[in-house]
Amino acid sequence: AQKITQTQPGMFVQEKEAVTLDCTYDTSDPSYGLFWYKQPSSGEMIFLIYQGSYDQQNATEGRYSLNFQKARKSANLVISASQLGDSAMYFCAMREGEAGRRALTFGSGTRLQVQP
Amino acid sequence: DVKVTQSSRYLVKRTGEKVFLECVQDMDHENMFWYRQDPGLGLRLIYFSYDVKMKEKGDIPEGYSVSREKKERFSLILESASTNQTSMYLCASRSRSRSGANVLTFGAGSRLTVL
C-alpha cells in the first residue's frame, strides 16, 4: 500500500485565491512527522511546513497552513492568496517514528499552476 | 544556512560506464540521503547514511552503491550505468528548520542521462 497518496496530479488556481493540495498517509506508528516541499522548475526542493503527529495545533508558516486531520489520516496543504511564484510541484512526505536515522517517504506530487 | 552541493548538474553517460555522483554538506550533519525522482513516482530513497562508513539500503538500492569516507561527503555510485537509471538524483542532509523541526535539506539535483 502507498504510504503517501497525492491524488491530484495537477491543479490550477487563480492568482490571489486560496488552494488546497490533498495528501493522505498510511502508518501504524503513533509517532510520525508530515512535511510539505515545493519544487520550482529550477529543481531544488524547498521545505515549506512540518506537522508532528502529537502536535495539537495545525502548523502554519506565513501563507502556508497544514490542515491536519489525524483520524482521517490527511495532511492537506493550504496556500492562501496564491501568487504566480507559487507555480511549482508540491510533494507531501512522511517520516515514521522518531527523527533519528529515519528517511522521508514522498508522494508522487501535485503540479500547481497559478494563473493571472 | 545549510548548504548541500551536488557536484554535477547534468551528466550524459554511456551504458556500462561507472558513474559517480558527489554530494557535500557544510554543517557536520550525520544523516545524508540519496533519492531519485521520476515523473509520476515522486522521490524514492536509494540509500542513506547515518555516520561515516555507515549506510543503509533504501527502497530501490539495486544497481547502486554509496560511499561515506568523510562526514561531509556522500557519494552515489552506479557501477555499470543502464538506461533505466536515467533520472534526476537528489542528495539531502538532515538539518533543523527555523521552527526546530528535523527536515531534509536538498541539493540542486543531478540530472543523469544514460545513452
Q: What is the pLDDT along chain B (115 residues), one digit of tens a residue?
A: 778 999 889 999 999 999 999 999 988 888 999 999 999 899 999 999 999 989 999 999 999 999 999 999 999 999 999 999 999 999 999 988 877 788 899 999 999 999 9
DSSP β-bridge partners for residue A50? A35
Question: What is residue A103's DSSP assignment?
Answer: P
pLDDT 10s digits, A51-105: 999 999 999 999 999 999 999 999 999 999 999 999 999 999 999 987 666 899 9
The size of chain A, in residues, is 116
The pLDDT, as a whole number, for residue B29 is 86
How many whole angstroms from its chain centre is CA B93?
Answer: 9
What the block records as the C-alpha cell of B114 is 544514460
Q: How many CB pairs under 8 A join A and B?
A: 58
| Residues of A in Cβ contact (< 8 Å) with B105 | 47
The per-residue pLDDT for B87 is: 97
Instruction: Give the distance between the most distant pair of CA atoms in chain A.
Output: 43
3 state DSSP class of B85: helix
Q: Are A81 and A18 in contact (CB under 8 A)?
A: yes
Per the DSSP assignment, residues forming a β-bridge with A10 are: A111
Beta bridge partners of B35: B45, B90
- Nearest chain B Cα distance for residue A31, angstroms: 14
User: B43 contacts in A (CB within 8 Å)?
Assistant: 91, 93, 104, 106
Residue among B70, B6, B113, B67 nearest A45 (CA): B6
Q: Which residues of A42-55 are buried (b: 16+ CB within 10 A; e: fewer)?
A: ebbbebbbbbbbee
B25: left (phi over 0), alpha (psi -120 to 50) or beta: beta
Cα separation of B74 and B32, whole Å? 7
User: What's the pLDDT band for A1 if we cut at 50, 70, 90?
Assistant: low
Q: Is the CB of residue A64 less than 8 Å away from at least one CB of chain B?
A: no
User: Which residues does chain A have within 8 Å of residue B88's beta carbon, measured at their own beta carbons?
Assistant: 43
Q: What percent of chain A has pLDDT over 90?
A: 89
Supply the pLDDT for residue A100: 66
pLDDT > 70: percent of chain A? 97
Q: A88 touching B, CB under 8 A?
A: no
Q: What is the pLDDT of residue A99?
A: 66
Query: What is the pairing mode between strands B23-25 and B4-6?
Result: antiparallel
